[in-house]
Structure 1
Amino acid sequence: MENFKIDLEAWKYAFEKAKEDRDKYFEWIKNEIEIVTDLINKYNKLYVLGGLGAKLLQASPNLFNQSMEIFEAMGNDVEESDKIKRDEEIEVLLEYAMNISLASENKNDTIPTLDNINEIIAQLSKIKLNVGFYEMTSELPKDGNVFDHLLKFTTMEDNLHVRGNGYEQHIVEVYKEIFEPFDDFLQKFYGFDSQDIFNVVKKLDELVVSKIGNPFGSSIAHKRFVEWDENKGEEAIKEDMRKGKHFMTQFLEDNPDLTDGKHLLNVIGVDLDDVRSYDRLFWVLPQTSKEGKIFELLSQKFNDNKDFLIGKFGGFPLGDTTIKTQPLVNIQDKYYSFSTSLAFRNIFEITTNLLEKADSIYFEQNFKNNTNQNSKDNYIEKKTKEVFESFLPKVKFYHSLDYKIIHKMEMKKLQN
């Protein structure tokens, strides 16, 4: 109880100090952002982002590490590397690091150590905590009240701290229903449709995880082999074998990211603490020209996100960013996927962005608003009505209502 009281007093003191001199606190945060930006830019940013990406992989539950936890609970010894390393903020910090890294060129070749990466993570976490505290201690909005402040703060805190993929089955269903009506347009403009986008985004995590040096990684690598075998076909594989090329050689020629880059048959098995292997671990390779086109559209290069560091709030975690619609990083014509969840979590925004970039007029007239029966707005209204009807099957729901009101001594007809 004594410790709690001391912590509470310290918190109250910090709260009062933060409110006392807002400008000073703001400048302190900006200085901390400069520190972490300089730290990140000291190194080859591929390996910095790889370091945070590896920690996200270590913190992500899967069949193998969950099984190891059960195995350990039964009294058995388990290697530390086989356990989940829980980290509630690493996904957010990885995104923050991506935003900062992609805001400038990648000019240094120095590969960071794990200690260097941990130093960067600690600084990112420090900034995130203080940005939240800065907002918590802000004054009430102009013409607002305590509720307005609470609403603004909780919304910001949710965006600052919370991540999650949601219910996959629900996401798949809604995604298909929203974007399938626009497949012909996507196909005509890009040469692929919404299902192609979904398939690419869905496989990104497997392209990374398949290179982890544990049984789970091996099982995903085997899955890649089975898919390759089915896609290439038995006859084509046998034909190459008759020419003296073993089927494993064929597979690894088509999937060079699975090798160590030194010898074709040296299949990689990455230790997630091996910093120098991150250039292989997070390299993702499109298998077809169609996939290559999608990879290109979903990628960006260093300095493409430069606006993130510009302006009064430049460098703040919730600043404008390109990583939601371009989650892949193109480094010397190779694509890298540092976050195994970023693309899937933003798949609606990614596909919407592609529609808008293809034809902004078509986008406004067909995808948005109510002018097209298949528009997103109409879909949301229809889906909401269906959900309410499922909750209350005996109640009559209407798509819209016409009613009249008296406004400035005149009768007006409204529709909602």
Structure 2
Amino acid sequence: MALIPDTIARTIIDPFAYADGDRVDEAFTWLRAKAPLAQAHPEGFDPFWVVTRHADIQAVERQNELFHNGDRSTVLTTIESDKQVRAMMGGSPHLVRALVQMDNPDHRAYRHLTQGAFVPQSLRKLEGRIREIARGFVDRMCDMGGQCDFARDVAFLYPLHVIMELIGVPETDEGRMLKLTQELFGSADPDLNRTGSAVTDTTEGVETIQSVVMDFMTYFNAMTQDRRENPRDDLASLIANGKIDGQPLGHIEAMGYYIIAATAGHDTTSSTTAGALWALAERPELWQRLRNDPSLVGGLIEESIRWVTPVKHFMRTATEDTELAGQKIAKGDWMMLSYPSGNRDEAVFDAPFEFRLDRSPNRHVAFGYGAHVCLGQHLARMEMRILWEELLQRVASIELDGTPKRMAAAFVCGPKSVPIRFKLH
């Protein structure tokens, strides 16, 4: 069994290495070349396999009965954190039980509940309204005098408004939802978490995340009561009144559904949009190519999803002894699927560290693969397409106006600041 050097293992679990970007890219590049499927044994963690190659990530994602989501934590966690969560949750390793923590038959049944709302034919009916929202944010940006922080002023707020309208959260509560999302995903980042300092203590980390989850649950409990009494045409009503095998959703599952919709439903799109503009501001010639040939917007979207890869990992657990890429995997072994590494795999992507509008094919794994592929992927693509169409009509040129920053997080991570200067058409 191959063992990953401790310095590399510590890098790929360090939230601040993801904020740095280059450090984690170098670690994954080394792993793909020298130890593409190997075990990490960092202090304080149970051993886990690190799956770095595109083909191996797809192989694990394709075999849902062999590699489970829900048997152990779906996100990398310390031994101590795992104990705390299980003590709080009656033995379950999950503070939240959403689609990403489920296996069949639950996963299939719960996914089916809202799947119809996210298929392309349903989303087409929303295109006019989404364009109206996008245009409003572009108008606001254009009124900022040629300078803004694109992440904070546009990218965070536009997908947030779209998903909150779909869920049924009033506009007055959007700021609260954004803050809670950033506190949840940025729990290690002193700029975003609710402690205001870098959280290194395991107990404090779990308690901080739990307090955020409890705030979400308090909010959505009240919404559930309202939608049961006054159902509307929104996702909250689907969840509040949904049934699985003839029974209402369990409390923890309903809350998990709301939380994943209210967090992943905007944060990953926000990160991708902010990261795309960062890449374009560093390469102003690409902005001109897009303005001259708007048919390249589809390529921009796929390349920016690959480039940013907002979800950095999910964990899987082997349900029986098996073999993957020549390594013997034992029943119960924990596997880290490293999506940023898969999306820089030299065997799949030509010049993976170049940002290319015309990359084709672009078989990235940023949305996952197989049965657990992202439910909201078509909505995310539509939101991004509409925003770029609106921006390209109005903005003649862009450049950076300071140093962009990424959040510190090893699970979900993207830019937290992208200061730009721009000229209008």
Q: State the TM-score, normalizing by the size of structure 1.
A: 0.26
Between Structure 1 and Structure 2, the one with more strand by share is 2
Q: State the TM-score, normalizing by the size of structure 2.
A: 0.26
